[in-house]
Chains A and B, each alone.
Chain A
């Protein structure tokens, strides 16, 4: 019973935080150690794009909607690049598929950055329960929006959002 009461308190506090939290203050990327596909360690708190937005997409080699989303971005990557956005695809593949990530990415001609998070440190720090889960982060390191599914057409809406963000017509809200 005491656990239930505790849960209620925690949930209530969190919900009130969610509903009426200060709109101008959004989380920045937390610190976690991930790897490049070449094996070098990278701390996620150092990720930046020189003041321009970053799109972070958590995915796995076995996740069909994730692959569809990233493939649709790869297809129009020239247009994405023109906006100045940096795309980072974070693979949550564990040791079962980790060795296949680099050939998978290259074999599909994906040109954006790919990081590997086999221990799930970055995934947990970003509160990712399931993939696909993507984040649009503005030039100040603030999360502008997040999405945890993929339906065809999402990428176009996202590109519009990025264009608005980079053209300055809509700042970090």
Chain B
């Protein structure tokens, strides 16, 4: 009823605005998107029959703003959920559902900002708290409650919030509380201690922060005492001095046995505390950018419901410290952080050969070199208590989860021709990353070549060619290759996508509105000859202003889809797709 009331208020505001065309009544902006997909059974790719044959997801956001006041609602519907989304999106009876699960009102003043209703927020890098949405994954853990931000002085921000987390069209059972203090030390020193350039103060930017978050969930009772209030806290800094920068965050979490860190195994109930550390340094100057990052997490899966799984009711954000790719074949073996324990590092170099130099040519040449590594933590089971383990915090364990060494070179040859070449060499521990023992590891190499040729001022043709070579290797606990008694390699379990792949895309664009593309992904190296399948796709996109219409047809391979470091499984499908989005 309250939702309806808010909607009516917004509508009245919109209508009166529309009627009078005056700004003093405020304004309404918004956006919407409709994604519909048809499904046809296709045994050649493992696409299963979908009884409804056509399914659609849609949302509409409306934001009303008047001076310092704003309010918004989002209508969402899943009729039924597009394949790959959690089936709980279809509502309690599984028939499809729609509603307004997101609504808020906000008042912003110079000294404070108050939000009532749903909101997104994060503390630091998100290790102890982040509520956010990834629409492409069907992830939305917005809080419903109140949030107050205070700005008592320039450079000082205090944020407090309390609420319950969204779980599909309902809320989780846990209560979430969080507090954060952010201090821009440079700004405060400059303003209150009269620092100036003469003291060198302004050449440095130092910000410090500290936060805590906590959840409450009743202990249902039983053999083990489960903590009802679980707190996490973190401290962070960010220092920028000329061309150098350094940032870090340390986080820790009280013990919290959950379904993810082996709550359901009474013999291994995990009563360890959690810890996380992130450190990153960078050097940036014209034409050269270098960054080196290190991250470790230990038992940091943090949820407002100890029984939830997958991406439901997650309270924090632990993205992978690896390069994020959009090239199609590189989405076959994506890696996501192992929240129960991981040590990772990443180095990244951006270098641009200057225009006019031998390697830069007329337009300059950009090279990106990147290396990332993720391994297990170094832990042993505590000899005195089976519910604890000992960890050498921060130290690399033996088992390798992921490794990627890659280079990309982008060059514009003349006014009309641009190219991008890339090579990636990866180690992917499928057993760990996908939680599927017996599937071994995948060692892959990927080559990518992309060329675009501009035919006229508005017409461009672009071609992308990719190839992936993959070796599937059965391994033991430490990652050593498994051999049988005769010394022959043991074959790992393989899923439908395996072996070598080739990919080619052709795209023709007419700026600013039209895109026509076709591509084919061909799993020609599949060990099973029946699964050497072409996954062909065709798409037409029309854009005008902020409206986009996309029509497509094709076969989509099953696999893991990752956005922003969070992944979900998407089953294979064959059919038409329509997507319409607009902002206004």
Contacts and interface: CB of A to CB of B under 8 A. Distances in A.
A40 B289 contact: no
B184 A41 contact: yes
Interface string B60-83: 111101000010010101000000
A148 B324 contact: no
Interface stretch (B393-401, B435-443, B452-460): B452-460
Contacts of A31: 108
A40 B247 contact: no
A105 B458 CA distance: 27
B351 to A, nearest CB: 6
B99 interface: yes
A13 B581 CA distance: 17
Contacts of B583: 126-129, 133, 146, 148
Give the one of B27, B290, B293 with max A CB within 10 A.
Answer: B27
Nearest to B99: A3
Contact of A39 (B130, B132, B238, B364): B238
Nearest to A146: B546
A107 B365 CA distance: 11
Contacts of A129: 31, 33, 135, 581, 583
Give the one of A3, A31, A128 with max B CB within 10 A.
Answer: A3
A6 B33 contact: no
A147 B120 contact: no
B291 interface: yes
B584 A18 contact: yes
Nearest to B319: A96
Interface in A1-46: 3-4, 6-7, 9-11, 13-14, 16-18, 20-22, 24-25, 27, 30-31, 38-41
Interface size class of A (residues with CB under 8 A): 35 or more
Nearest to B10: A10
Interface string B184-206: 10110000000000000000010
Interface string A62-105: 11100010010001000000000000000000111111101111
Contacts of B245: 38, 102
Given A38-B240, A62-B324, A127 B33 contact: no
B60 A10 contact: yes
B317 A108 contact: no
A7 B98 contact: yes
A166 interface: no
Nearest to A121: B120
Contacts of A154: 511-512
B135 to A, nearest CB: 8
Contact of B100 (A3, A40, A68, A130): A3
B282 A103 contact: yes
A38 B319 contact: no
Give the one of B99, B125, B454, B546 with max A CB within 10 A.
Answer: B546
Interface string A115-155: 00011110011111110010000000000011111011110
B576 interface: no
A24 B22 CA distance: 10
A61 interface: yes
A109 interface: yes
B28 interface: yes
Given A7-B75, A31-B108, A120 B581 contact: no
A128 B418 CA distance: 28
A108 B366 CA distance: 7
Contacts of B368: 107
Contacts of A152: 418, 452, 454, 460, 509, 511
A170 interface: no
Given A97-B324, A147-B543, A106 B98 contact: no
Contacts of A17: 14, 17-18, 28, 584
Contacts of B23: 25
Contact of B291 (A11, A64, A100, A156): A100
A96 B495 CA distance: 29
A125 B63 contact: yes
B545 A151 contact: no
Contact of B511 (A22, A98, A157): A157
A3 B320 CA distance: 38
B287 interface: yes
Contact of B60 (A7, A22, A27, A100): A7
Contact of A102 (B73, B284, B352, B545): B284
A125 B28 CA distance: 11
Interface in B170-194: 184, 186-187
Interface string B554-584: 0000000000110000000000000001111
A164 B459 CA distance: 23
23 contacts: A9-B11, A13-B11, A14-B30, A17-B18, A17-B584, A21-B18, A31-B108, A38-B245, A41-B157, A41-B184, A75-B363, A96-B324, A96-B565, A98-B125, A99-B280, A102-B282, A102-B284, A119-B122, A146-B583, A147-B546, A151-B458, A152-B418, A153-B454
List the 5 shortest-distance A-B pairs measured between CB atoms, nearest first. A103-B289, A107-B350, A107-B289, A96-B319, A22-B21
Interface of B: 4, 7, 11, 14-15, 17-18, 21-23, 27-33, 60-63, 65, 70, 73, 75, 77, 98-100, 108, 120-122, 125-126, 130, 132-133, 135, 157, 184, 186-187, 205, 207, 238, 240, 245, 247, 280, 282-291, 293, 317, 319-321, 324-326, 348-352, 354, 363-364, 366, 368, 410, 412, 418, 452, 454, 457-460, 509-512, 515, 541, 543, 545-546, 548, 564-565, 581-584
